[in-house]
């Protein structure tokens, strides 16, 4: 088919540098209607990524030195063609995860829905700014609709929320709200120095840093010890609370776990609430600590709240999945008594980064907790997000993708999604159980992550007493990651050192499969497992013939 005149112009523009002839065209191309040209640019950029021909879970990468590359990095004196620029641009993904891969099992990285991604992209084309409604229009309303919709799942009729750049910021808003609740003058006068926050040992590692960024100080984040994967006990919570009262501290907030990446640590909302109430009454405190449930992962279970086991079973046909969902919703059933919750749509909401929401039972954080302000009706023109958000200018991409995803899937769609994730995990577990070198270490987890250990039989025989399971596991992980970076298609699973050491049940190192694939079949599950077992044998051979040596791996925080 011959090209239309318009298409020829577009092609020419992709192949010519910005110059006096076309500069105006380039500046004006995004007139809001000329979508063809945008699609062409997208295709051009995407082709260079496709040219890499990657099937694996990571775009291959050669190690590099930042300083060496940056020494020669500068703006070009003259503009280049789209073609040239996109060709170089494609390398931006080298070393990055490719969630679309069947081998992608590294942490909670979803493949976002096209609808959600399209919505976010449009917000960028129209350059929407969620700073206030008179700038960003209804993006502020849609933000509140997302918050209200999630709020309703837990029985809040007046929820308000803030779209933000990640789960860490939801923790920031929770603590900020807590400080505002205990001292309404704090925005002007600063944070009182007798405040602490309590949280479980297993809660997210970013909490201390969040306290530090808030100016509260990392030391004000008190971790409550726990001795099971079940969340904090009333006993431990009460003891820690009383200790703080004796230290003349006020507990501004209790940040509870609403599901974590490993072991799906979740606190029992009803037990927490009644334990806190008991202490408040017993010590006649003139405040009630702010309660936040860090449900950035666990929010997905809210879609099942109030469902009976039979109703869940009707959707899954899998007793173990029903049982696990049922335990979680029982723990979450009193979340309506909390002050806020959080959602990471970029984790398990099928949205692209970043699409997190801090969601509060009322609108105190929006109105600054001022008495009368809280009663006023808010109309178009009244919401000035910059007065309560960390940012001033703020993208509405997260709002757009979350809103569209919630509408596209509905409650039943997200229920189905959770069940799919749990089912894929069951299939992989079955496949692992078929090979006797693998042992599953976290059967009790309520989430869909799989932690397993590997018995390196050949090395065990050869090394005898010198066999160091943890060292060998680390070396194996290093070997796998290296193979993947070279471009080999292997499941990119990960490692947890000294699994459950934090609850004094050190089970040694474990490997983590975090499968986000929907509809994984038994055959694919078996293939994934057999790739791992083949890699085990290959690794053992290379160690035994001296090609590889044992090494420790250092790990950064992101998996916990």
Ligand X SMILES: *Cc1c(COP(=O)(O)O)cnc(C)c1O
Residues that bind ligand X (CB under 6 A): 166-168, 204, 206, 260-261, 294, 296-297, 344, 356
Strand ranges, E, within 201-249: 221-224
Residue 286 C-beta: closest distance to ligand X, Å: 31
Q: How far is the CB of 542 from ligand X (least distance, A)?
A: 35
The H or E element containing residue 512 is strand 510-513
Q: For residues 55 and 519, what is the distance between their CA atoms, to the nearest angstrom?
A: 19
- Identify whether the C-beta of residue 232 lies closer than 8 Å to the C-beta of residue 267: yes
- For the bound state, the minimum distance from the C-beta of residue 207 to ligand X, rounded and expressed in Å, comes to 8
Q: In the bound complex, what is the minimum distance in angstroms from residue 264's beta carbon to ligand X?
A: 10
Taking every pair of C-alpha atoms in the chain, what is the biggest distance, in angstroms? 83
Write out the DSSP string of 335-354. Answer: GGGSSEEEEEHHHHSS-PSP
Of 165 and 455, which CB lies nearer to ligand X in the complex structure? Answer: 165
Distance in angstroms (rounded) separating the CA atoms of residues 363 and 378: 11
**CA-based radius of gyration for the chain:** 26
Q: In whole angstroms, how close is the CB of 342 to ligand X at the nearest point? A: 7
> For ligand X, which is the closer residue by CB, 263 or 294?
294
User: Which residue, 344 or 449, is less far from ligand X as judged by CB?
Assistant: 344
Q: Distances from the Cα of 156 to the Cαs of 180, 465, 527, in angstroms?
A: 21, 59, 45
How far is 198 from 183, CA to CA, in rounded Å?
17
Helix, strand or coil, per DSSP, at residue 257: strand
Q: Which is nearer to ligand X, 400 or 535 (CB)?
A: 400
133 or 294: CB nearest ligand X:
294
Cross-strand bridge partners of residue 344: 356
Give the tokens for residue 31.
């007139």
**307, two tokens:** 């469902």
Please identify, using beta-carbon distances, which residue of 222 and 256 lies nearer to ligand X. Answer: 256
Nearest of 161, 175, 162, 164 to residue 209 by alpha carbon: 175
As measured in angstroms, the least distance from the Cβ of 297 to ligand X is: 5
The string of DSSP letters for 448-508 reads: S-EEEEE--HHHHHHHGGG--HHHHHHHHHHHHHHHHHTT------EEETTTTGGGT----
Minimum distance from CB of 560 to ligand X (Å)?
8
Nearest residue (CB) to ligand X, 167 versus 231:
167
CB of 230 to ligand X, least distance (A): 16
**Closest separation between CB of residue 248 and ligand X, Å?**
30
Helices (H) and strands (E) in the chain, counts: 22, 11
Would you say 255 or 459 has its CB closer to ligand X? 255
CB of 206 to ligand X, least distance (A): 6
Q: Min. distance of Cβ 131 from ligand X in angstroms? A: 22
**CB of residue 357 vs ligand X: minimum separation in angstroms?**
11
Contact 146, 162 (CB under 8 A): no
* Coil/strand/helix, residue 426: helix
Dig out the tokens for 301 from the structure.
């279970």
Calculate the CA dihedral of residues 528, 529, 535, 541 and round it to 10 degrees: -160
Name the residue nearer to ligand X (CB basis): 290 or 476: 290
Closer by beta carbon to ligand X, 129 or else 260: 260
> DSSP state, 555?
-
**DSSP-assigned beta bridge partners for residue 440:** 452
Closer CB to ligand X, 204 or 500, in the complex: 204
Q: Are strands 160-164 and 438-440 parallel, antiparallel or unpaired?
A: unpaired
**Closest CB to ligand X among residues 117, 453:** 117
* Inter-axis angle of helices 82-89 and 5-15, nearest 10: 60
**In the bound complex, what is the minimum distance in angstroms from residue 261's beta carbon to ligand X?**
5
Give the span between the Cα atoms of 30 and 547, in whole angstroms.
56
Contact call for residues 512 and 449 (beta carbons, < 8 A)? yes
Select the residue whose beta carbon is closest to ligand X and give its number: 167
- CB of 295 or CB of 316, closer to ligand X: 295
């Amino acid at each position: 088919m011959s090209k239309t005149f318009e298409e020829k112009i577009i092609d020419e523009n992709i192949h010519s540098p910005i110059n006096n002839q076309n500069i105006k065209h380039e500046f004006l191309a995004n007139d809001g209607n000329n979508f063809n040209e945008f699609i062409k640019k997208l295709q051009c950029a995407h082709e260079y990524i496709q040219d890499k021909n990657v099937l694996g879970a990571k775009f291959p990468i050669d190690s590099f030195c930042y300083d060496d590359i940056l020494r020669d990095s500068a703006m070009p004196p003259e503009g280049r063609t789209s073609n040239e620029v996109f060709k170089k641009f494609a390398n931006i993904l080298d070393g990055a995860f490719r969630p679309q891969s069947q081998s992608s099992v590294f942490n909670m990285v979803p493949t976002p829905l096209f609808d959600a991604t399209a919505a976010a992209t449009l917000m960028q084309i129209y350059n929407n700014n969620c700073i206030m409604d008179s700038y960003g229009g209804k993006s502020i309303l849609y933000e509140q609709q997302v918050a209200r919709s999630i709020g309703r799942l837990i029985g809040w009729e007046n929820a308000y929320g803030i779209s933000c750049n990640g789960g860490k910021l939801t923790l920031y808003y929770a603590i900020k709200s807590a400080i505002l609740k205990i001292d309404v003058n704090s925005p002007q006068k600063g944070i009182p120095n007798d405040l602490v926050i309590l949280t479980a040992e297993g809660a997210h590692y970013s909490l201390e840093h969040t306290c530090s960024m808030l100016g509260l100080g990392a030391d004000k984040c008190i971790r409550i010890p726990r001795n099971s994967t079940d969340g904090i006990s009333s006993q431990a919570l009460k003891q820690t609370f009383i200790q703080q009262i004796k230290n003349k501290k006020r507990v501004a907030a209790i940040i509870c776990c609403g599901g974590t990446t490993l072991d799906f640590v979740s606190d029992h909302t009803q037990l927490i609430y009644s334990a806190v109430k008991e202490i408040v009454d017993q010590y006649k405190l003139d405040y009630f600590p702010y309660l936040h449930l860090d449900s950035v992962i666990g929010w997905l279970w809210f879609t099942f709240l109030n469902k009976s086991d039979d109703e869940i079973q009707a959707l899954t046909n899998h007793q173990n999945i029903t049982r696990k969902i049922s335990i979680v919703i029982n723990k979450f059933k009193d979340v309506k008594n909390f002050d806020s919750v959080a959602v990471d749509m970029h984790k398990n909401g099928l949205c692209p980064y970043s699409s997190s929401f801090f969601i509060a039972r009322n609108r105190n954080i929006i109105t600054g907790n001022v008495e009368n302000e809280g009663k006023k009706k808010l109309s178009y023109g009244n919401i000035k997000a910059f007065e309560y958000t960390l940012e001033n200018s703020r993208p509405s991409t997260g709002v757009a993708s979350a809103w569209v995803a919630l509408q596209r899937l509905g409650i039943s769609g997200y229920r189905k999604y959770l069940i799919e994730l749990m089912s894929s995990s069951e299939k992989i577990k079955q496949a692992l159980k078929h090979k006797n070198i693998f042992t599953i270490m976290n059967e009790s987890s309520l989430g869909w992550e799989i932690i397993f250990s590997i018995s390196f039989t050949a090395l065990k025989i050869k090394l005898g007493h010198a066999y160091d399971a943890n060292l060998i596991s680390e070396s194996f992980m290093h070997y796998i990651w290296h193979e993947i970076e070279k471009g080999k298609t292997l499941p990119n699973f990960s490692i947890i050192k000294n699994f459950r050491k934090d609850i004094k049940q050190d089970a040694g190192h474990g490997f983590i499969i975090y499968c986000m694939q929907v509809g994984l079949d038994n055959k694919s599950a078996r293939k994934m497992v057999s790739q791992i077992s083949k890699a085990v044998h290959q690794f053992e051979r290379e160690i035994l013939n001296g090609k590889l040596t044992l090494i420790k791996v250092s790990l950064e925080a992101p998996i916990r």
